[in-house]
């Protein structure tokens, strides 16, 4: 079986040890980290999501798959981040209140670190007040908010309102599978990125438009 396909299979089985071993092996075989993420890890996560929808697997299986993917990202991160790049700005990022999904948010964080940003990761289930506090404390250039549920994406607007009510003009970038550009615009976000590959580009174009 091809290596990336094998990674996807072990993600679905939630086998963290095999996923870690094969991810390291793929790096040794000169696979590009992005290729490992897109064609191995994310393929596996999407497959488990589909199986969840069909009631073939349940929350615990999704949880162990996520744990395996986060472990693989830890292995890939040093290859994607060049510590010598001059710092270009600060991003405060978190998953919105009520939402526990962190893989997409972690990937966005890695991409921003890779592009030379200082990244403050507030984790999951982050309240509007915590986003505000951290944006002020770190003089953030960007606040990044991630949501994976249709039931939690509405909480993004609450965060943006909290920032604006306190006269924080920091650019807000939103993303996550259920979002659309139209929704992002409606809730007052400055930018929307559909995936990790485009998020840094969106942020940079917002910086240039200041």
Positions in the binding site for ligand B1M (CB under 6 A): 42, 45-46, 48-49, 52-53, 59, 62-63, 65-66, 98-105, 107-108, 144-146, 148-150, 173-178, 193, 195-196, 199
H/E run at residue 156 = helix 155-165
Residue 203 CA, distance from chain mean position: 14
- CB-wise, 84 or 114, nearer to ligand B1M? 114
Smallest gap from Cβ 194 to ligand B1M, in A, equals 6
Smallest gap from Cβ 84 to ligand B1M, in A, equals 25
Q: Side by side, which strands form the sheet with 171-175?
A: 117-121, 89-95, 142-146, 171-175, 191-192
Q: How would you class 55 by CB atoms within 10 Å of its CB: exposed for 0-12, middle for 13-18, buried for 19 or more?
A: exposed
H/E run at residue 100 = none
- CB-wise, 26 or 108, nearer to ligand B1M? 108
Cβ-contact 143, 90 below 8 angstroms: no
Task: Report the distance separating Cα 196 and Cα 128, nearest Å.
Answer: 23
Smallest gap from Cβ 197 to ligand B1M, in A, equals 7
- CB-wise, 39 or 84, nearer to ligand B1M? 39
Smallest gap from Cβ 111 to ligand B1M, in A, equals 9
- Taking CB atoms, the residue at the shortest distance from ligand B1M is 175
- CB-wise, 132 or 199, nearer to ligand B1M? 199
């Amino acid at each position: 079986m091809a290596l990336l396909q094998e990674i996807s299979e072990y993600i679905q089985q939630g086998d963290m040890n095999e996923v870690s071993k094969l991810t390291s092996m793929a790096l040794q075989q000169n696979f590009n980290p992005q290729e490992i993420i897109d064609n191995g890890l994310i393929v596996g996560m999407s497959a488990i999501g589909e199986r969840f929808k069909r009631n073939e697997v349940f929350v615990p299986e999704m949880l162990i798959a996520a744990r395996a993917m986060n472990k693989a990202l830890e292995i890939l991160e040093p290859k994607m981040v060049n510590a010598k790049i001059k710092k270009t700005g600060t991003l405060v990022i978190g998953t919105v209140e009520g939402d526990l999904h962190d893989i997409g948010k972690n990937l966005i964080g890695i991409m921003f670190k890779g592009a030379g940003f200082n990244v403050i990761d507030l984790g999951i289930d982050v309240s509007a007040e915590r986003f505000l506090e951290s944006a002020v404390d770190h003089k953030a250039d960007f606040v990044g908010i991630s949501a994976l549920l249709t039931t939690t994406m509405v909480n993004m607007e609450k965060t943006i309102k909290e920032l604006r009510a306190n006269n924080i003009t920091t650019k807000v970038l939103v993303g996550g599978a259920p979002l659309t550009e139209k929704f992002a615009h409606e809730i007052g976000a400055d930018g929307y990125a559909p995936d990790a590959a485009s998020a840094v580009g969106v942020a940079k174009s917002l910086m240039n438009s200041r």
